[in-house]
Amino acid sequence: LVALAASRTLEEMKIQTEAALRVGLSPVEIKEALYQCAPYIGFPGTESALRLVNEAVVEKGIPLPVESQATVTEESRF
């Protein structure tokens, strides 16, 4: 999925997201991997990929948003 996003081959993104879900990846794992693309392919490219991932996830009946993965709170921030 990361390679598809980086190469802008978004036609396959939904199909491969469905395959990733089928073999056991969670929506959180998929989205976290794509977030790592942002510094390299830019926010617009990452956002386009995530939009298609979200569509595939919703079509599979998985509710969005996914659980937050944040580890920093306002109290522990500084």
Residue 78 in this model has a pLDDT that exceeds 80? no
Distance from C-alpha of 12 to C-alpha of 44, rounded to nearest angstrom: 17
- Model pTM score: 0.83
5, pLDDT greater than 90: yes
Nearest to 52 by CA among 12, 3, 23: 12
pLDDT (0 to 100) of residue 59: 94
Per-chain mean pLDDT for the chain: 92
* Residue 32 scores a pLDDT above 90: yes
